[in-house]
Amino acid sequence: MERKRGFEIAKGFEDKNINLPVRKTKASAGYDFEAAEDTVIPVFKPGIKPVLVKTGVKSYFGEDEVLILANRSSNPMKKGLVLANSIGVIDSDYYSNPDNDGHIMFAFYNFGESDITITKGTAIGQGIFYKFLTSDEDVANGTRVGGFGSTSR
C-alpha cells in the first residue's frame, strides 16, 4: 500500500508510549493529538512566551497538502487555553527536518485564573489535512533548513 499521509513517533519519543492521533468518529474532520508529557502552562502575564506542549508525533503527507492544527473547542471555556498562533500550519517539508525531526507541538497561552497542568495522554488539539492551491505567479523553490519557525530563515 502506497503511503499518502499519516503519523509516526518523532525521534526521542520511541519509548514514551505515545498514542498516534486518531479520529474518534467516522464523521470527524480532525485527528486528536495528545500531550506527550506533563506540562505546566502558567497564567498569562505580559511578556510571557507561549508554552509548547509536545505531542511526540510527526506527520507525513503530500507536497500539495498542509496539516492545520486547531485547539480543542473545550479548551478556552474549560481551561482558559488558547493557541498562541490561532492555528498551527505544518508544511509537508517539516517532516523529519534536521532540527527537530518534524516534532509537532501546540503553542498555548493560559488566560485562566490559575496555572494549568496538562498531563501526559490528555487530548490537547486536533490536526486536519487539507489540499492547498498556489497562484499562477508562484515561484517558491526554497528548501527548509530547520524546524519550528525556520521558513523565515
Q: What is the pLDDT of residues 78-137, one digit of tens each?
A: 999 999 999 999 999 999 999 999 999 999 999 999 999 999 999 999 999 999 999 999
How far is it, in rounded angstroms, from Cα 113 to Cα 30?
29
Binned at pLDDT 50, 70 and 90, residue 143 comes out as: confident
Residue labelled with grid coordinates 523529519: 96
Q: How confident is the model at residue 46 (pLDDT cuts 50, 70, 90)?
A: very high
Q: Residues 91, 53, 68, CA angle at the centre, nearest 5°?
A: 30
The reported pTM is 0.90
Residues contacting 82, CB < 8 A, separation 6+ = 71, 75, 76, 108, 109, 111
Sequence-distant (≥ 6) Cβ neighbours of residue 81 within 8 angstroms: 41, 71, 75, 108, 109, 110, 111, 112, 116
All structural domains of the chain with their residue ranges:
6-133
CA dihedral 143, 146, 13, 70 (to 10 degrees): -80
Distance CA 6, CA 74 (A): 25
Q: What is the CATH number of domain 6-133?
A: 2.70.40.10
Q: What is the pLDDT of residues 3-18, one digit of tens each?
A: 999 999 999 999 999 9
Q: What is the predicted pLDDT for the residue at 146?
A: 63
